[in-house]
């Protein structure tokens, strides 16, 4: 892990000064890079985050610094996680005019957010996530939800639709249930392809996730819960009786107050929690 400290950096600039436009860097297709450049969208993201002096901000994938530098202008201090070695030096140099930037050079999936939070308080995560890794990053963040206050992410719109979908929807699935069981999911606004360089082939969207207090989630065994949700949606056409045959019997499903002839997309998040807890007991 390569960390840069910003002890020699100047303090944050006042809001009245012009914001940096970042720096030029070629997007790497194999890393799924699409650099945000649309000023109106950048301003909306910073406004949605609305950083306060006491916040501990962590940005995932700063790229050319489109969100990084406006956040530094507002807050003065920021930690970023960047995997692309070629972006480390230009980020460090460009940040000098904005505030104190700490760079963690590592794959975000290898970053221990709990250790990063330490005893200094919860983290606020921000980022334009690489679309080819969005779901793994979301699940990784959930593992550290106890030290995360909220997450403001830009993702493929289709993924955000799945995250926020309700029962009966074609987009309601494993991602919907797992995230909604642990977080409040709030879609904020859509982002067109033209806001990026190079433009992706899909629309994007910004979403806020707020982890629920651990004692309000009600999942007794997270491993069993994850397995039940995974198998239930593994073959969507199957009824629960068949889809969950490796997890439980039809009688056990009925004992949880759920009809075994239903399909996974017909169940509320609370139904999955109740069934998993019943099996755990």
Contact (CB, 8 A) for 78 and 100: yes
Rounded to two decimals, what is the model's pTM? Answer: 0.84
- 39 in the same domain as 172: yes
Reply yes or no on whether the pLDDT at 4 is more than 80. no
The enclosing domain of 263 has a CATH number of 1.10.8.100
Reply yes or no on whether the pLDDT at 29 is more than 80. no
- 175 in the same domain as 37: yes
Binding site per annotation, positions for S-adenosyl-L-methionine: 34, 36, 61, 82, 128
Residues 6+ apart with CB under 8 A from 76: 11, 12, 99, 100
- 233 in the same domain as 210: no
Please give, one letter per residue, the 3-state secondary structure of 40-92.
Answer: HHHHHHHHHHCCCCCCCEEEECCCCCCCHHHHHHHHCEEEEEECCHHHHHHHH
- 151 in the same domain as 242: no
For 211-270, how does the pLDDT look when each residue is reduced to its tens digit (9 = 90+)? 999 889 999 999 999 999 999 999 888 999 999 999 999 999 999 999 999 999 999 999
Burial class (CB in 10 A: 0-12, 13-18, 19+), 90: middle
For 121-152, how does the pLDDT look when each residue is reduced to its tens digit (9 = 90+)? 899 999 998 888 899 999 999 999 999 999 99
- 30 in the same domain as 160: yes
Binding site per annotation, positions: 34, 36, 61, 82, 128
Tokens of 33: 């890079």
Q: How many domains is the chain partitioned into structurally?
A: 2
Domain enclosing residue 235, as ranges? 222-280
- 251 in the same domain as 189: no
């Amino acid at each position: 892990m390569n960390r840069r400290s910003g002890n020699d950096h100047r303090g944050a600039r006042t809001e009245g000064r012009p914001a940096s436009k970042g720096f030029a860097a070629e997007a790497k297709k194999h890393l799924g890079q699409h650099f945000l450049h649309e000023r109106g969208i950048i301003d909306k993201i910073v406004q949605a985050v609305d950083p306060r002096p006491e916040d501990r901000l962590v940005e995932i994938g700063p790229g050319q610094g489109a969100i990084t530098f406006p956040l530094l202008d507002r807050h003065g201090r920021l930690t970023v996680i960047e995997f692309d070695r070629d972006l480390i030096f230009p980020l460090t140099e460009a940040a000098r005019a904005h505030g104190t930037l700490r760079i963690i050079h590592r794959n975000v999936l290898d970053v221990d957010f709990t250790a990063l939070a330490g005893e200094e308080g919860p983290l606020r995560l921000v980022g334009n996530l690489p679309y080819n890794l969005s779901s793994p990053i979301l699940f990784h963040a959930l593992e550290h939800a106890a030290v995360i206050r909220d997450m403001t992410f830009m993702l493929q719109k289709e993924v955000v639709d799945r995250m926020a979908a309700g029962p009966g929807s074609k987009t309601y699935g494993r991602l919907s249930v797992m995230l909604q069981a642990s977080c409040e999911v709030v879609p904020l606004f859509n982002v067109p392809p033209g806001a990026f360089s190079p433009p992706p082939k899909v629309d994007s969207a910004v979403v806020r996730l707020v982890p629920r207090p651990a004692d309000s989630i009600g999942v007794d065994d997270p491993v069993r819960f994850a397995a039940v949700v995974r198998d239930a949606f593994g073959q969507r056409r199957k009824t629960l009786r068949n889809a969950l045959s490796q997890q439980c019997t039809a009688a056990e499903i009925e004992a949880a107050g759920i009809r075994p002839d239903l399909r996974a997309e017909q169940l509320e998040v609370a139904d999955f929690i109740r069934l998993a807890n019943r099996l755990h007991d």
